[in-house]
Amino acid sequence: MKKLTQKEEEIMIILWKLEKAFVKEVMQEITEDKPHYNTLSTIIRNLEEKGYVDHNAFGNTHQYYPIIPKEEYRKTFMNKAIENYFNNSYKSMVSYFAQEQKLSVDELKEIINIIENEQ
C-alpha cells in the first residue's frame, strides 16, 4: 500500500465519510484551502491510480468510492509510525502521549481497563 500525501489523505477521509461522491461533492466538504476543481479531480484520479478508489461512470462524470477501507489504511500506517518513531514499542508511544499531556491519568486507566477486558 502506497503512502498518501497529506492532501490525498484529506480527500480519502472525505470519501470514507461520504462513501460515494462526485468531485463537486468532495469539493463541498473541503473547508480550508480549497483546490481548484481540476486539481481536486487530478488528486482523485491519482488516488484511483494508487488503488485507493474506483469509480462508476455516468456519461462524462464519475462517482468515486473508496476501495481501501479506512481501518486497513489506519492499521498499516499506524504500525509504520510506531515502528519508525517509537522503535516498535507501544509502551513508548503511550508514554510519549502521556508526557505530552495528550492523555490524562483517567484516559490511561480507561485504556488499561479496555485491554484487561479484551483478554
Degrees, nearest 5: CA angle 73-75-80: 95
- Write the burial class of residue 30 (CB in 10 Å: 0-12 exposed, 13-18 middle, 19+ buried): middle
Q: What is the pTM of this model?
A: 0.79
- pLDDT tens digits, 17-72: 999 999 999 999 998 889 999 999 999 999 999 999 999 999 999 999 999 999 99
Q: Which residues contact 10 (CB under 8 A, 6 or more apart)?
A: 30
Which residues are within 8 A (CB) of 22 and not within 5 positions of it... i.e. 6 or more apart?
61, 62, 63, 64
> Cβ–Cβ contacts within 10 Å for residue 62, how many?
19
Mean pLDDT of the 105-114 span: 86
Domains and CATH numbers, the chain: 1-88 (1.10.10.10), 89-119 (no CATH)
